[in-house]
Amino acid sequence: MKKVLRFSNVRTAAALLFTGLLFLPPNAAHGHAYPDHADPKVGASVAGSPAVIRIWFDGDLEPAFSTITVQDGNGIRVDKGDGHVYSSDATLLEISLPPLPPGTYRVTWDVVAKDTHRTRGYYTFTVR
């Protein structure tokens, strides 16, 4: 005798499967690299000019497609133009600075994660 699968059984099975999927842990490889922390810190007021700006991300970056720049309060670029992903830590983006006078500075980043998803943003810090 052939067993017949009833519509209500299919619906019940689908509902159970969907409910089970809700309780799976999120995928660790979320696909985007987001800033974890920075030096100087976001919104910090620092005594004296930092020599380097560093931003650590929560995932590895693609060096060829990741950039960082620093501008003064007038929108003029003030970094040394040597922004790069750190060679021994693919989560670290950094750029060198000349001595900066007191003022507020904007750090802008545009990065591509290893899986090709792009994120970008900015933060400010103040030199006293």
Instruction: Give pLDDT, residue 26.
Output: 45
pLDDT in tens, 48-107: 999 999 999 999 999 999 999 999 999 999 999 999 999 999 999 999 999 999 999 999
Please tell me the distance from the alpha carbon of residue 122 to that of residue 124, in angstroms, as a whole number. Answer: 7
Q: Which domains does the chain have, with CATH numbers?
A: 35-127 (2.60.40.1220)
Cβ-in-10-Å burial (0-12, 13-18, 19+) of 54 comes to middle
